[in-house]
A and B are shown apart, each in its own frame.
Chain A
Amino acid sequence: MTESLRIGVFICHCGTNIGGVVDVPVVAEYASTLKNVVHAECNLYTCSSDGLECIKSAIQEYELNRVVVASCTPRTHEPLFRATCEGAGLNSYLFEFVNIRDQCSWVHMHEPELATEKAKDLVRMGVAKAALLEPLEELSSDVIPSAVVIGAGISGMTAALSIAKNGFYVHLIEKEREMGGLLSRLYKLYPTEELVDDFLEQRIKTVGGHERVELHLSTSIKNITGYVGQFKVILDENGAEKSIDCGVIIVATGAKELEPEGLYEYDGKRVITQLQLEEKLRRDALNVDGIKNVVMIQCAGARGEVVRYCSKICCMNAIKNAKLIKEANPDINVFIAHNELQAYGEEYELYYRAAKKAGVRFLRFPREKRPKVRTSDGKLIVDVFHDRMQMNIPLDADLVVLSVPLVQNPDAESLSKLLKVPLGQDRFFFEAHVKLRPVDFATDGIFLCGTAQGPKDIEESISQGYAAASRATIPLAKGYVRSAAITSSVDEAKCVGCGICESVCPYGAIAVVETEEGRRARVTGVKCKGCGTCGSSCIKKAIEMHHFTDEQLIAQERAAFVIEAVVSG
């Protein structure tokens, strides 16, 4: 620190929220006695426009180079005060927030004297840290105005088209020879019962034909490097290697059907899966002559059998196929043996009712007593234990259809490693936040949509495709990304390249690389979220967190106890 410290402290009354418990003038008086504090004042409402004016004019008048505000919570007000400092010409990271409301006046509201003492302690700690703050710059990085969408199924196509319409170039990558994904193997959609081929044809034409969409069929991904705004994707396009630079990546790799080997006498002939049934219906290859009874079994391989989860769409899919078969062949008996029937939402419940009206019959079995398929005299029989009637119902079956769950594609593992994005326990890609960020990855610049994230129907896949496009368009439209200045930094002299930091970083922001001095960890500032996990894991104490350095934090701790050293005069 070459310049002399000139710290300004602003204590807020917050009306009576703080002022009604803590003796604010006394705390301000106290603050003015602290070392390096050249100005201390109290405000009725520091966050109000005149409170902010006070800060600005004090910075000018007293030539402050550090500002401490003791008021409510940084969660809501830190950005405001930082912006105020910035507006007065002071780097916004030379600002320190002390919470004397939630952590003081609110929790000690019946002990005003002790609360005042605590407020003094907290202010003293804040000032001690402020003295050690350094100005920080937010890094800015350009964003290449194009996107790579991995997977040309329905969600990938939707995302690609939307981004293209927003004015950006899109590379749509597909490992198969044709677009359409799993959807192209289906027969009809629920609940509209339109033909998949009609539905897809229009969309494939529009997507493929868009001037800003470049299609890469029969293409797989070899490598991905970079970070948000500056990704490099290496492709194997039909045997030839190609390199694409892009700003954002969307994962839309879809899912596949579980193969129910060893379950329910599955043989692919008389006991088949729903997808196999659909493929037969598509080709008009379902031989109905020999069929009198069709029995569908729900949750085959799901909800605790092979996979833990419910695959969301199997109930409606079965209902659709059952209804189609029944309506085309009223003399065939169609049964669906289910446990918890997932006909949720507005349309699905209505479609379920329509299937019942059409004559599809439903039997509910308890989860612990799943149906059993057996043969008797060469005939198939499905024993369904009827939950409500508490008795076994043996159903003759000429065709048994297993409603199996969707599972993750086998090549997702390698993609997840290339992108450094996680897979969840159910092996589907794991989004940034299950509730609030369903189509984002924790890593900036990479997004997710469709069944790659988890089983879902076509409407939701389309919705997520649009959602991912929206999220991806943000950096593209902005043209740049700014990282917060609170990142980690590595002292390469101390670093031994052990790699612990890399393994614990949730954002893939720190990695061990080869340098002239050997293997060292390096931070990509733009990816770093400043969570501190690497800093606290580093066994060599080689990593410091900007704005939360060990020195700053220790000074803060010491100030809690050692008073004399910090009080001047």
Chain B
Amino acid sequence: MKDKSVLVIGGGVAGMQASFDLAEAGIKLCLVERTPSIGGRMAQLDKTFPTNDCAICILAPKMMDCYRHENIEVLTLSEVIAIEGDIGSFKVKICEKPRFVDAEKCTGCGDCARVCPMGIKSKFDMDLRVRSGANVPFMQAVPLIYSLDRDKCMRCGLCESVCGKDAIRFNQKPGIVERDVSAIIVAIGFDPLDPSGLTEYGYRRYDNVITALEFERLICAAGPTGGRVIRKDGSEVKRIAWIQCVGARDTRDNRPYCSSVCCMYATKEAILTKEHYPEAETFILYTDLRCFGKGFQEYVNRAEGDYGVEYIRGKPGEIREKEDKNLEIFYSPTSDKVEKLEVDMVVLSTALIPSEGVEKLAEILGTELDEYNFFKLKDPYNPTETTRTGIFVAGYCQAPRDIPECIAHGSAAASRAMEVVLGGSYDRIT
């Protein structure tokens, strides 16, 4: 039974934690990740609340541990395409997309990137940076194996000519691998909402309205601007406002739920702004400040007291752009007035929604999604069981939760998978 392995879909914090626990307990598993590197959303963050730890610094060792573990087979740029069978004996088909680079030979030196003439927008950097067509998603990527952008590659051969390891493979084809597993854990995380449809906020129409994840990349020292928060005209911010609940707690688009982490990440981003620009003024416009976790209230107190972040209760009804590209935010703090707040940049704390492709994956897995596309639980008090026996779920794709909750949830899913593999347990709940 111990030789029976597990499939983990998704290499973010929840997936990695589940994988690591299983591997340490002696269980072999296959970790499938859609992008070229594991790490997930946490790798995109600058720092994490409420400790203000550098995100990649605490994440990278976990990524390495996962990748190097003898019991974990990591397949990146791969997706699950079919599943058959039942708990204890699933047969899984995985498609490995081509990197156009021989993964065995590539050492991650980056010489190909330096010569490639094509530029592509970096998804990791929220389209704020142009990367070489031969790239890794970020410098601490695991595995540190380059790939060529399939759509933009001109096959000019420059990369091939400089690669010291002869690792370029223009004719690489997708490969199908099959795995037999006893249990499956889904941990595919979330996507940030694109708020272009919320026209009252002017995203993509106004020069200086950005989303929170875009801000994260700006403020990150390893990001596209080296940690400078700059407007479209290149000037550094002096007054910046965060707007909470953009697209969340919103019945208009059927997203009445709360994304759980935005109040805290806005607080963090405001604190980081003050650290980079002590003279800057920071405002957070919110409806209900969600500060329920361990250390959260204290973190908010610090933001207010030590850093001078100003919290304003009032959801803005409109943002207008001035001629100098500053923004005027209309909000109403008390029912007797409407105020105008002028700032030079607005950050939209957008809803975090189930990942693109979740519907297709759920269909492949034979699991149900709820009406908002989060994975449905068989029973609300069994937090990792999906509606299909033997398939467990971990992390944000089941419900909005923060990093420690995702990690605990990942371990929880691992324990259920352990029950199947170690204990031969096929019953449901308790």
Closest CB in chain B relative to A146 CB, distance in Å: 15
Set of chain A residues within 8 Å of B372, measured between Cβ atoms: 346
Closest CB in chain A relative to B104 CB, distance in Å: 8
Question: Cβ of A387 and Cβ of B257 under 8 Å apart?
Answer: no
Closest CB in chain B relative to A392 CB, distance in Å: 14
Pick from A310, A453, A466, A474: contact of B416, CB under 8 Å: A466
Assembly CA distance A438 to B111 (angstroms) = 40
Assembly CA distance A565 to B121 (angstroms) = 54
Set of chain B residues within 8 Å of A14, measured between Cβ atoms: 107, 109
Assembly CA distance A166 to B408 (angstroms) = 18
Assembly CA distance A117 to B293 (angstroms) = 50
- A419-458 contact mask (Cβ, 8 Å, vs B): 1 or 0: 0000010101000011111110000000000000110001
Pick from A80, A344, A464, A467: contact of B400, CB under 8 Å: A344
Whether a CB of chain A sits under 8 angstroms from the CB of B430 is yes
Q: Size of chain B's interface in residues, with CB distance under 8 A?
A: 75
From known contacts A199-B381, A434-B51, infer whether A477 and B258 are also in contact, taking CB-CB under 8 Å: no
Q: In A333-359, which residues have CB < 8 Å from any B CB?
A: 340-350, 353
Set of chain B residues within 8 Å of A141, measured between Cβ atoms: none
Question: Cβ of A345 and Cβ of B51 under 8 Å apart?
Answer: no
Assembly CA distance A442 to B39 (angstroms) = 24
Pick from A15, A342, A471: contact of B290, CB under 8 Å: A342
Question: Cβ of A467 and Cβ of B374 under 8 Å apart?
Answer: no
From known contacts A309-B298, A434-B50, A467-B408, infer whether A462 and B60 are also in contact, taking CB-CB under 8 Å: no
Question: Cβ of A469 and Cβ of B48 under 8 Å apart?
Answer: no
Closest Cβ neighbor of A469 among chain B residues: B415
Whether a CB of chain A sits under 8 angstroms from the CB of B407 is yes
Closest CB in chain B relative to A124 CB, distance in Å: 26
Question: Cβ of B60 and Cβ of A75 under 8 Å apart?
Answer: yes
Question: Cβ of B24 and Cβ of A478 under 8 Å apart?
Answer: yes
Closest CB in chain B relative to A437 CB, distance in Å: 8
Closest CB in chain A relative to B25 CB, distance in Å: 4
Q: In B381-418, which residues have CB < 8 Å from any A CB?
A: 381-384, 399-401, 403-405, 407-416, 418
Closest CB in chain B relative to A217 CB, distance in Å: 19
Closest Cβ neighbor of A157 among chain B residues: B430
Assembly CA distance A310 to B24 (angstroms) = 35
Looking at A42-50, A265-273, A532-540, the stretch in contact with chain B turns out to be A42-50
Closest Cβ neighbor of A478 among chain B residues: B26
Whether a CB of chain B sits under 8 angstroms from the CB of A460 is yes
From known contacts A191-B380, A438-B408, infer whether A303 and B297 are also in contact, taking CB-CB under 8 Å: yes
Closest CB in chain B relative to A80 CB, distance in Å: 7
Closest CB in chain B relative to A164 CB, distance in Å: 8
Set of chain A residues within 8 Å of B295, measured between Cβ atoms: 309, 434
Question: Cβ of A308 and Cβ of B257 under 8 Å apart?
Answer: no
Question: Cβ of A466 and Cβ of B107 under 8 Å apart?
Answer: no
Whether a CB of chain A sits under 8 angstroms from the CB of B226 is no
From known contacts A387-B313, A462-B381, infer whether A428 and B294 are also in contact, taking CB-CB under 8 Å: yes
Closest CB in chain A relative to B62 CB, distance in Å: 7
Whether a CB of chain A sits under 8 angstroms from the CB of B58 is yes
Assembly CA distance A137 to B112 (angstroms) = 42
Residue ranges of B at the interface with A (Cβ–Cβ < 8 Å): 13, 21, 24-26, 48, 50-51, 53, 58, 60-62, 64, 68, 104-105, 107, 109-111, 114, 164-165, 249, 256-258, 260, 288-298, 301, 313, 334-336, 370, 372, 374, 380-384, 399-401, 403-405, 407-416, 418-419, 422-423, 425, 430
Identify 12 new A-B residue pairs, CB closer than 8 A, beyond the known A162-B415, A309-B295, A462-B382: A15-B111, A15-B164, A303-B297, A310-B296, A344-B258, A344-B260, A345-B258, A347-B399, A350-B256, A436-B404, A454-B293, A466-B411
Pull 28 A–B residue pairs with CB atoms less than 8 Å apart, ordered by A: A15-B111, A75-B60, A76-B60, A162-B416, A192-B381, A309-B296, A309-B298, A341-B288, A342-B288, A342-B291, A346-B370, A347-B380, A348-B258, A389-B335, A435-B403, A435-B407, A436-B404, A438-B407, A459-B380, A459-B381, A460-B383, A460-B408, A463-B405, A463-B408, A467-B411, A470-B412, A473-B21, A473-B418
The 7 closest A-B CB pairs, nearest first, are: A15-B109, A466-B412, A467-B411, A470-B415, A45-B107, A477-B25, A312-B292
